[in-house]
Structure 1
Amino acid sequence: MDRHSGKELSERVFLYDTTLRDGAQMEDISFTLEDKLRIVSRLDSLGISLIEGGWPGANPKDREFFARVREIELKHARIAAFGSTRKAGNSVSRDPVVADLLEARTPVVTIFGKSWHLHVRDILGLSREQNLSMIRETVDYLKQNGREVVYDAEHFFDGFDDDPDFALETVRAAREAGADWIVLCDTNGGSLPDAISLATARVAKDVGGALGIHAHNDSELAVANSLAAVLAGARQVHGTINGIGERCGNANLVSVAPNLALKMGFFVMEPAALARLRDSAAFVSELSNRALPKNMPFVGESAFAHKAGVHVHAVRKVSRAYEHIRPELVGNRQRILLSEQSGRSNLVEKARQYGLSLEDGDSHLSTLLARLKEMEYAGYQFEGADASFELLMRQALERTDPFFRIDFFRIAMGRGEKDGYAEATVQVRVGSQSEHTAALGNGPVNALDNALRKALSTFYPEVRHISLLDYKVRVLSGSAGTASRVRVLVESSDGRRKWGTVGVSENVIEASLDALKDSVEHYLLTSGALRHGE
């Protein structure tokens, strides 16, 4: 019986998160101690059952983590320390790795051992019996010290394929020694779902007890393999948030959880927690210093985005015509994209989202559609610049005047005594009044951004809340060399929400200013700012 849900074990699949250990082994990822502690709290709020914190004796940061994490009051999760079976030649009571595992004082300890004869014979140079003794003695010793033991059978599926009797013998040794969970590991990530299913079912039949799956994504099958193992009897799934991990990554729990819950009928977390899945994925992505992939299933920005006109026409009537689940179940939302492939349905649906009145027979539709395709032909792209298109639609439908106009700008670049500098001068006009100012920046675009908001703050103090999050430049055609046309995409935020704008020109500074201008205009328009003088 699960102590949190009251559900029988057969109805529940327990999620075991290894973001902080296996996930942190991914190239270009390095979590700080504070990052790790924040991630623990976020995972606990989702209802994750077990959180693997790392190797307690591997480095000072992990040692400190296990001391600090005890200060966090967890509501759902328990912390696991990770390590290996005792080293050959060591007594288990004197093995430093085992000692570090106990010193971490976690309720759960996860150890890995060898299940593939190739590793035992050719890598470690040990006999079969020596390997089995290492497994038995380590599991037994940890159980005697009051720990719940998760035994990771490393390379189990490769070992099962090579010598099934030996692979089964290793997990049987762990089970007989008292391991609470036997977790079958596709360590090389090369197995196929049918092989995973066959081997897991064999372990369930011959060894029994609580089983888990730990899949890597080298064949892009980690999620599929995890689901196949569950269908064959596994009830614990190891993985990471966003699938980060060694080489090609681990099973992505952000995909595993909704598949198990929404499609296979297992309990993995409360519906309210599942609805926070997208926010949690973005949170871990931010701390990983990586952008959340737009096309990530379930939680990516494009997961429920529709571009083709025929698709939009359909989902406006019945969303499940092109959506496999309701986006809000995982905290996502439907998006209607605008491009040269757009049809009238895209524009009508987009207007509805903006709170504008536009019907299928409206005369503005043809004008807007033609304008959209004309602008995209010139190099504009609105898929990442919704705010710019909203301004375009509002100007066409509401005939509203802009909050401000830019009379002129100038950029000066130079080098001082030590460092280079950029200075931007901008004159803005609001109604009949003008403001002329200058600002420095660490580059021409930053200086321009600073000068524009400095000038506008005289009329609209709230623009100080805007910050530039991302800035991208794409050369649209290389045939003209340095005079080529460029597209600038800017992402901005006020600390609560984010929006994207676009500018296009042969002059990268001018394109940048257009995108920045749209960003500020959109913020003023959608934040309820009063026009100056009203």
Structure 2
Amino acid sequence: MTKSVQIYDTTLRDGTQAENFNLSVTDKVRISHKLDDLGIDFIEGGWPGSNPLAVDFFKTMQGQTLKHAKLAAFGSTRLFSNPCEKDKNLQALIDAKTPVITIFGKSWDIHVHDALRIELEDNLRIIEESLAYLKPHAENLFYDAEHFFDGFKKNQDYALATLEKAILGGAECLVLCDTNGGMLPHEVKAIIECVQTFIAGHGDHITLGIHAHNDSETAVANSLLALSLGVKQVQGTMNGYGERCGNANLTSIIPALGLKMGYTAESLKNLDKLYDTAMFVDELANLPHNKYQPYVGRSAFAHKGGIHVSAVKRNPLTYEHVEPEKVGNFRRILISDQAGKSNILHKAKKFGIELDPKSPIAASIVSELKELENQGFQYEGAEASFELLMRRAVGTHATYFTLKGFRAINSKRKMGRPPETEATIRLEVGGHEVHTASMGDGPVNALDKAMRKALTRFYPALEEIELVDYKVRVLTGQHGTGAKVRVLVESKDQYEQWGTVGVSVNIIEASWQALVDSINYKLMRDDQRHAKSS
């Protein structure tokens, strides 16, 4: 019997409630497409009634196309003082124009009395009326029963009554939330079985979901247990980000469902994209990746101990519960020069680069990659730089220009005015030396302008490049303001969007590295497109 499951990602909403986890509208759009590529079924984009950033995101996404995923807008039941048609939160959900609407309501009687400060019957009324009002505006209507498990333990009859009102309002999936994250698996099991008995009389079209927080380190366990009991939808976030201790970690749940529990879902067909997706989210959030994370951590399949290494070389099953390639990760033998070669070969195939795994070039790329990673380079979110690295190694990358020198000058002449920045640059292109200067909003912007001014006379297509994002991450705080930094630059043209990276103790140098890679990638891709068309 086929067991299907719906994967509902709330990284862009619940994940952003984590401390130090911040995303721009551009970041959220890029992550949405990455989650769509992974095969996530539902992507919760945010709460349009709570902040302008979410409104901007949904407006932007109205002009975007997702291949598989459905976008969801999130909000609450109406205020008791407002009728539905005048409730700003409900109107914002409709204005988001998403195929899916998810709203939450109170399941715990103390929240009704102390948070909403209304009567229990009034809460039941706003649950049903809010859902019924939204029903005609959504292809899918989900109801998050907030604090359901705590509410059930304190007042079982009332918690179940809130679910009944949600069903009457038209919700097709009732998502049981462990909002405080305090439930243990044996408690979850008993409560879900009771709920299943309760809703059995309301028809087969009503399904259950699970939304677990991780305050007791049981969010993944509770989610997998719920699914094993017949729950059809699981909600969580990439890398487990979320308020306080985080949400159920989808990068642990998804492979468990596909590799260990026999479930079917679109994302389970794309498990080999899981590692890249997890790293991509961290890179755009400008946060260090948890290397010890199951499945997608860089140490998840790393072997160092002598006995382990010897056994793994003979048979990986001796010390690995799944094959790392199945989740897009790779085995690392920490005392071996072979670490990372499988990842190199995977990327070479993706980029269309012919690379013999037994060739010295493959070994040299691995060696160079190790050295660059030691320096602080990371290529998740900067695959354009990685492709250029590989093409230089195999000798298929053209030299479009050569840097002779640059200078950036910052001067603040009056305290009440912004500083003035000028960059000068010397380049050689095809035997011609070019010397240009440009003013800019800061040294990086001035350098970018000066470089383009120098190169566009030779490569007019560079005028198409638009720099859409620029991030700086301090890699170590040991040297204070002299710390090494990693710069990630995101660029686009009429055809595609790409990321490049630079690392240095000098932020200008790191930025320069990323900008040069961006221009080189653009010129290389234009040459490839021209070759295909001719």
The alignment's TM-score, normalised by the length of structure 2, stands at 0.63
Q: Structure 1: 5+ residue runs without aligned partners?
A: 1-7
1:157 is displaced (CA, Å) by 1.7
Matching residue within 317, 326, 345 for 2:338 = 345
Corresponding residue number in structure 1 for 2:196: 204
Distance 2:9 2:369 in 1: 45
> After the TM superposition, which residues 156-195 of structure 1 pair with which residues of structure 2 at under 5 Å, given as runs?
156-162=148-154, 167=159, 181-195=173-187
Give per-residue Cα distances to partners, 1:363-403, cap 9 Å, x unaligned: 9969995x877x669x7334448877877777677599954
Q: In structure 1, the residue corresponding to 2:444 is in which secondary structure? A: helix
Corresponding residue number in structure 1 for 2:443: 444
1:223 is displaced (CA, Å) by 3.6
Is 1:413 matched up with 2:413?
Answer: no
Q: Are the structure 2 counterparts of residues 313 and 334 from structure 1 closer, same or farther at C-alpha, using a change threshold of 3 Å? A: farther
Distance 1:74 1:386 in 2: 22
The letter of the residue matching 1:233 is G
Q: In structure 1, the residue corresponding to 2:376 is in which secondary structure? A: coil
Per mean C-alpha deviation after superposition, the further-off stretch among 223-232 and 350-359 is: 350-359
Is 1:230 matched up with 2:227?
Answer: yes
1:312 is displaced (CA, Å) by 11
8 Å contact from structure 1 (residues 292, 300) kept in 2: no
Corresponding residue number in structure 1 for 2:263: 266
Once the two structures are aligned, what percentage of the paired residues are identical? 35
> After the TM superposition, which residues 111-510 of structure 1 pair with which residues of structure 2 at under 5 Å, given as runs?
114-119=106-111, 131=120, 135=124, 139=128, 152-162=144-154, 167=159, 181-205=173-197, 208=200, 210-219=207-216, 221-239=218-236, 250-251=247-248, 256-257=253-254, 259-269=256-266, 290-291=285-286, 294-295=289-290, 324=322, 333-334=328-329, 343-346=336-339, 349=342, 352=345, 353=348, 355-357=354-356, 359=358, 362=360, 369=367, 380-384=375-379, 402-415=399-412, 418-430=417-429, 432-464=431-463, 469-472=469-472, 474=474, 484=482, 486=484, 488-491=486-489, 493-495=491-493, 496=496, 498-504=498-504, 509-510=508-509
Corresponding residue number in structure 2 for 1:4: none
1:74 is displaced (CA, Å) by 12
The letter of the residue matching 1:194 is H
The letter of the residue matching 1:156 is F
Q: In structure 2, the residue corresponding to 1:438 is in which secondary structure? A: strand
Distance 2:102 2:499 in 1: 43
The letter of the residue matching 1:425 is T
Q: Structure 2: 5+ residue runs without aligned partners?
A: 202-206
Give per-residue Cα distances to partners, 1:117-176, cap 9 Å, x unaligned: 5446666778xxx63685379649977998898665432222344455665576578779
The letter of the residue matching 1:380 is Q
Distance 1:118 1:252 in 2: 29
Q: How many positions carry a matched residue from both structures? A: 501
8 Å contact from structure 2 (residues 500, 515) kept in 1: no
In angstroms, what is the RMSD of aligned CA positions?
A: 6.4
The letter of the residue matching 1:131 is L
> After the TM superposition, which residues 492-531 of structure 1 pair with which residues of structure 2 at under 5 Å, given as runs?
493-495=491-493, 496=496, 498-504=498-504, 509-510=508-509, 512-513=511-512, 516-517=515-516, 520=519, 528=527
1:452 is displaced (CA, Å) by 3.1
Q: Are the structure 2 counterparts of residues 400 and 258 from structure 1 closer, same or farther at C-alpha, using a change threshold of 3 Å? A: closer
